[in-house]
Amino acid sequence: MERASTSKKDLQLAAYAKALAHPTRIAILNYLEKQSSCFTGDLVIVFPLAQSTISQHLKELKKAGLIQGELKPPKTKYCIHQKNWKIAKELFQQFFD
């Protein structure tokens, strides 16, 4: 019986899955897909959560690479990170066959 190794792909997929593992983050991404971009403040209005909580979720999504932020002082404009989005999409596709 062979020892299972945890591949880079497994780790990456798990990291993406972790970013998606919260309903609010799913909803934020859905929102971003519809709107193509938005400011933090928009989400604070749309979601019944504190501003700091929204910011924290955005941070998680950025850490995973699924979104990117652009400074538009005094606001921050977020949008989907298309390149990584595609990578994630393909990893999930492969995973599910």
Note the residues at the interface with DNA (CB under 7 A): 18, 21-22, 24, 39-41, 44, 48-60, 69, 71, 73-76
Does residue number 73 form part of the binding site for its own copies (CB under 8 A)? no
Closest CB to DNA among 12 and 55?
55
Does residue number 10 form part of the binding site for its own copies (CB under 8 A)? yes
First and final C-alpha spacing in the chain: 24
Phi/psi for 94 (5° steps) reads: -55, -45
Burial label for 66, CB within 10 Å (0-12, 13-18, 19+), is: buried
- Which of DNA, its own copies, none has residue 8 at its interface (CB below 5 to 8 Å by kind)? none
